[in-house]
Amino acid sequence: MTTTPSIPQLQPVPVYSPAEYVERLLSGGTLLPNTDENLKEVVGVLKAYGVVLDAYAINLQYIANHQFLNLVPILKYFDGKVTPQKVAKHIWHDRINYEYAEYVMRTMMWHGGGGLDAYLDSDDFWACCSPAIQAKSRLNPILFVFNKIFPEYLPEQVRQLAYYSGLGQFWRVMSDIFIDLADCYEQKKIESVDQVVEFIKAGLVADATKPITYSVTISGTSYDIIPASVGLTFLPDTAVPYVESIFFRGTPFFGTVSYNAQAHQIPIDQAHFGYGALFADPLPIGGAGIPPTLLMQDMRHYVPDYLERLYDNSVRGQDDVRVQLSQSFQKSMFCVTEAAVRGLMPYPSDTEDPKERVLNRDYLSGWLKRLAESRLNVVQRA
């Protein structure tokens, strides 16, 4: 009791202007400072994230394909393989929390954006989903009655299922990229944060035009919900809306902010939301509410040894591992954001043409302004 309290060394948060970040990006630097610890955290957490994303992606696509218009999908998290052990594990709750994947899916659907959102509101979508709904209704009188009384209800369910599928396909790609990244790190092929960004960017660009499609099979007949002819592709129609709605906008952590418009605690315009992964406070992890806690809880089981050791040596050790995971995750998401931003840059970053350089600078300034209120400054701390 009489020992001196060991208060850790406090460091102020460095403050950089957006222009300084733009300058750094144009001169080949990265948003996240290039340190060994940052590299370990980013790669380690992306490895754990990759494992979890793999499970999420498989489950999201399973729900989209095999739980189509199942209004009471109580076994949706079992991927079609129900065993007593899996049920016990599910109830015990030491499992992958697919609820988080659904939260992300709903947030994407709510914020919209990109080609997928536009397509789902079009007549083409209506034309595609009607036959599937009718086929399903023929087998199920409840659905039939439902569809007659509330003709908008089942199409809305199908829109959501399309998002299940879209997010599942997006995460399938991202999971593979992250696992490959961790493998390359372990093989010493990646030794700096800028190589991480470059690796992710290369992965995004390589799959940029990968088509996003969705079809379901009902009674042996295949119905296209998102046919390839719509022309939805990976980067503009899933990746960009995902970054926009999950990294930037997000939804306020439940229970911390009032959604009551009269309380003026949330922006009136949805586009001004700033509650996404890059803005989130990692500390309330472990409190009530779905979003961050469940993801960190899922990743906790797959943290690689080198990252585990890093956490063990921290002040609270494993006590606050979910908060630490959340902080590392935030760092890694700045790398993914940077990769996406670089991937969408109008001209190569090393262009010599002054006009192109100006346009590049304007483009980056636009992004960095949006990040002004994010935790970018916080992750600058060594």
For other proteins, the binding residues in 317-336 under the rule CB under 8 A are: 317, 319-323
Q: Which is nearer to other proteins, 255 or 348 (CB)?
A: 255
3-class SS at 194? helix
Does 3 sit near other proteins (CB under 8 A)? yes
Q: In sequence order, what DSSP letters do the residues of 199-224 get, joined into one string?
A: HHHHHHHHTTT-B--EEEEETTEEEE
- State how far the Cα of 33 lies from the Cα of 197, in Å rounded to an integer: 12
Q: Which is nearer to other proteins, 214 or 253 (CB)?
A: 253
Q: What's the min distance (Å) between Cβ of 239 and other proteins?
A: 31
Closest CA to 30 of 369, 336, 359, 330: 336
Structure tokens given for 24: 């750094």
Stretch that binds other proteins, among 120-128, 208-216, 238-246, 282-290 (CB under 8 A): 282-290
Does 257 sit near other proteins (CB under 8 A)? no
Q: In sequence order, what DSSP letters do the residues of 248-315 get, joined into one string?
A: II--PPTTTS---GGGT-S-SSGGG---STTT--STTTTSSSSHHHHHHHHHHTT--HHHHHHHHTSS
Does 145 sit near other proteins (CB under 8 A)? no
Radius of gyration, alpha carbons of the chain:
22
Does 313 sit near other proteins (CB under 8 A)? no
Q: What's the min distance (Å) between Cβ of 98 and other proteins?
A: 22
Does 284 sit near other proteins (CB under 8 A)? yes
Does 377 sit near other proteins (CB under 8 A)? yes
Q: Which is nearer to other proteins, 93 or 188 (CB)?
A: 93
Does 315 sit near other proteins (CB under 8 A)? yes
Does 15 sit near other proteins (CB under 8 A)? yes
Q: What's the min distance (Å) between Cβ of 327 and other proteins?
A: 9
Q: Which is nearer to other proteins, 80 or 255 (CB)?
A: 255
Stretch that binds other proteins, among 9-17, 39-47, 132-140, 199-207 (CB under 8 A): 9-17
Whether residue 155 contacts residue 121, with contact meaning beta carbons closer than 8 Å, is answered with no
Q: Which is nearer to other proteins, 7 or 149 (CB)?
A: 7
Calculate ∠ Cα 58-59-62, nearest 5°.
90
Does 289 sit near other proteins (CB under 8 A)? no
Does 5 sit near other proteins (CB under 8 A)? yes
Q: Which is nearer to other proteins, 317 or 346 (CB)?
A: 317
Closest CA to 207 of 184, 227, 235, 180: 235
Q: What's the min distance (Å) between Cβ of 265 and other proteins?
A: 15
Stretch that binds other proteins, among 5-13, 127-135, 159-167, 219-227 (CB under 8 A): 5-13
Query: Which residues lie below 8 Å from residue 294, measured CB to CB, with a gap of 6+?
Result: 97, 99, 100, 103
Does 10 sit near other proteins (CB under 8 A)? yes
Does 308 sit near other proteins (CB under 8 A)? no
- State how far the Cα of 126 lies from the Cα of 75, in Å rounded to an integer: 28
Stretch that binds other proteins, among 57-65, 112-120, 202-210, 276-284 (CB under 8 A): 276-284
CA atoms within 13 A on the CB side of 373: 11
In one-letter notation, the amino acid at residue 329 is: F
Count of chain residues binding other proteins (CB under 8 A): 29
Does 382 sit near other proteins (CB under 8 A)? no
* Exposed / middle / buried, residue 46 (Cβ in 10 Å: 0-12, 13-18, 19+): buried
Q: Which is nearer to other proteins, 229 or 318 (CB)?
A: 318
Write out the residues near other proteins by the rule CB under 8 A. 1-3, 5-8, 10-13, 15, 281, 283-287, 314-317, 319-323, 377-378
